[in-house]
Amino acid sequence: MLLSEGDSAVIKVDADTLMKKSGQPKPPGFSGKYFNYTIKIEKVLPKGKLDDKAFQEKIGQYFKGEADKARAAEPIKIKKYIADKNLKPIQTASGLNYVITQAGSGDKVAVGDTAVVDYTGRLLNSKETVFDTSIKSIAEKAGSPFFDKSQLQMRKFEPI
């Protein structure tokens, strides 16, 4: 079956087979389960008479353009989210926005000190969707393990 721009498909992949072929460790509880992917064909880039190198360059240019558009749209989305939620974030020099929900009463951290920080990362569209945390009770409630991009593998909750 060939798909065209605008078409959608659902692909069902056996988790055991996927993990075996990818060489990734199998997360607990996934044995005998399936990953369901819903895909939509957004864009078809015809190869035409381009050689492989030229076609790869064409693909690279397309994705660079898409990434540039997404990057340009992010600050607008962030400002809208902050305004919609009536947040008063602190912004770092790198552009990271954060909100202190509960101020501590301990000693202030000085340059050169080591600080231990508990954190929880949630998706903006859901207060319940936790993608990472240092707090064991939140990890358990969210159904750890979490994906650690730096390790490129699944990991379980680890206290700091």
- What are the tokens at 144? 């750890």
Portion of the chain with pLDDT greater than 90, in percent = 46
Longest CA pairwise span in the chain (Å): 67
Average pLDDT, the chain: 85
CA angle 149-154-160, nearest 5°? 75
Note whether 89 and 99 are within 8 A (CB): yes
Mean pLDDT of 116-133: 80
Give the model's confidence band at 144: pLDDT under 50 very low, under 70 low, under 90 confident, else very high: low
Residues 87-97: pLDDT tens digits? Answer: 999 999 998 89
Rounded mean pLDDT of 66-80? 94
Could you give the CA distance from residue 2 to residue 14 in angstroms, rounded to a whole number? Answer: 22
User: For position 90, what pLDDT does the model report?
Assistant: 95
CA 145 to chain centroid, in Å, comes to 15
SS3 50: coil
Inter-residue contact 14 to 34 (CB < 8 Å): yes
pLDDT at 53 over 50: yes
pLDDT band, residue 55 (cuts 50/70/90): very high
153 forms beta bridges with 148
Q: Does the model's pTM come out above 0.75?
A: no
Report the run of H or E that residue 65 belongs to, with start and end: helix 52-84
Residue 73 pLDDT more than 60?
Answer: yes
Mean pLDDT on 103-113: 90
What token pair was written down for 4? 């065209």
Q: Quick one: tokens of 148?
A: 């650690």
What CA–CA distance (Å, rounded) separates 13 from 159? 33
Query: What is the pLDDT confidence band of residue 152, given thresholds at 50, 70 and 90?
Result: very low
Q: What is the DSSP letter of 32?
A: T
Cα dihedral 129, 18, 36, 128 in deg (nearest 10): -10
